[in-house]
Each structure stands twice: as structure tokens, then as C-alpha cells.
Amino acid sequence: MIIRFFVANTSKELVFVEPLTKELKLLNTANMILQEKISSPDWQENVEKKIQNSDFFVVMIGQDTLKNSNIRWEIQQAQKEGVPICGLKLSNFKETIEVKNFKSEYLLFDNCNDLNSFIKNEIIEIRKVSLESYKIFVGSTEKVTDQRSKIHTLFFTLLASLMTLSFLIANATKFNVWGMIAIVFISLIGLFLVYSWEKLVNSYGLLNKGKFEIIYRLEKQLRINHFEKEWDILQNKLKYQSTTVVEKQLINIFKVFLSLILISTLAYLTYLAYKK
């Protein structure tokens, strides 16, 4: 099982860090050490990508490591990505206020053996939890799709019924003033329903987007990327239009149609008033 460590350290402590990274590799040949030189161009962007692809974030703590602003920034990125954080003491380790604060939130190991033993057991549990979370989120996206379908059926039925009612009223009243006023009222209700429908579509679209962002992160932890690959194929090869785009096209048709009915009815009412 490959375990990916992102190792955070200051450049001046590199001489103390290298023996420990080598030891971690010797303890388990499957261990993969990810590092980034702060002096490199676009280092922040590179760090973000590497942290996203890491199983653990390990801070190599020496004398003043945690006082370094770049190290603190890297810790914040690991927190943001939800990557487990722990520390490993360097040979020049010194107990400071920053170290005490770090220990209040995260584990700090004295040597590579302790760190490696902990991580071997922890990674199994983390991936079990990630797999269960993955199943839950995939299932929840299917529920959202079902709810979306029911909402579309409801609004489509309501709008179709309102339009049918307006034509029946127009026919029954022989297009008199009261009949036209009723149609105006029905058209306004219809437009209100259309705007409510559009808001719900946007809401469901954002809800699904949020869920898939979490699914993509969980896939990275599980070392799979089925949904990401599927979306790439749909967009780049098959030129797929998202469900939200198609739904909005249908909503715009209803919006235009109801607006035309409203404008036509108001114009006819104006004509009737002028005729009198």
C-alpha cells in the first residue's frame, strides 16, 4: 500500500531532514515522500497540488520551524484540504510556545519508527472511513437527481395547467375584459412559478457541485478517479451539456411564452379600453 507523505520543512534545516526522509523510505519502500522547495517558482501552487495528493502532512520540527510563515501557510493548506497533520522531531528540536500549541492539536513523534507504526495503522482506518463517506455522497447525489426530477414534473404540470386554464377562460368569456384580467393574473402567477423553478434549479446545481467536489477529494484519498474521468470524457469528447443548462433552456421557453401571453393580453386590454 503506497502512503504519500507531504514533508514540510525549512530550507536551513534540510541537513537534519534528509536522514529522516531516507529512514522513512527504508522503513517502508512503499512510502512516497513529496516535498517542494520554497525557492522554486510557483511553489505555492505546487504545494497545494502535492498536499491534495497526499495521505499525510508531516512537519519536520526543529528549533524555530513553526515560527516560519511559509510552514504555517503550508499547515493551513493541509487543514483546508483535510489532510491529517502530524509532526516529527528533528535532531535540533527545541520545545517552544509554537510547539506546545502544535501539540495541543496534532501528534508529535520522537522518531521515524513511531511515526511509521502510527501511520500504517491509521491509513487503514482513514481509507475505510473515506470509502464509507464516498458511498454516502454518491448515494446522496442520486437522491438529489430523483428530487430534481420530481420538482420538474411538479412545475411542468402546474404551468401546463395554468396555461390550459387561461385558454379555457378566454374561450368561455369570449375574450371580454374580465376574462383578459383573469389571464393577466394567471400569467403573473405562471411567471412567479417559473422564477421559483429557476431558483430551485440553480440551488440543486450548486448542491450537486458541492457534493461532487467532496467526491473528487474522497476519490483522491482512495486513489480512484471514476467520476473525474467520466466528467472529462463527457465534456471534452462528447461535448455534453450539463443538466442545469438543459433545464434552464426549458425554463426560458416557459418564461418567453408566458411573457408573450401577458404582453398580448395587456395589449388587448388596452385595445378594449380604447374601443370603449
Q: Is the pTM of this model over 0.75?
A: no
List, in sequence order, every beta strand (DSSP E) within 132-228.
none
pLDDT of residue 140: 83
- Whether the CB-CB separation of 59 and 65 falls below 8 Å is answered with yes
Average confidence (pLDDT) over 132-153: 83
Query: Residue 175: enclosing H or E segment and its boundaries?
Result: none
**What does DSSP say about strands 85-89 and 107-109: parallel, antiparallel, or unpaired?**
parallel
- Whether the CB-CB separation of 62 and 94 falls below 8 Å is answered with yes
pLDDT of residue 89: 94
Cα atoms in the 13 Å half-sphere on the side-chain side of 167: 6
The cell for 210 is 458541492
Q: Has residue 150 got a pLDDT over 80?
A: yes
What is the CB neighbour count within 10 angstroms for residue 101?
Answer: 11
Show me where the domains of the chain are located: 3-110, 127-275
pLDDT of residue 97: 92
pLDDT of residue 173: 83
**Phi and psi torsions of 71, nearest 5°:** -65, -40
* Cα(177)–Cα(14) distance, integer angstroms: 87
* Cα(193)–Cα(165) distance, integer angstroms: 15
pLDDT of residue 221: 66
Note the CATH architecture for domain 3-110.
3-Layer(aba) Sandwich (3.40)
pLDDT of residue 276: 62
Burial class (CB in 10 A: 0-12, 13-18, 19+), 155: buried
* Cα(187)–Cα(174) distance, integer angstroms: 18
H helical segments located in 33-93 = 43-52, 69-81
What confidence tier does 244 reach under pLDDT thresholds 50, 70, 90? confident
pLDDT of residue 73: 93
DSSP state letter for 90: -
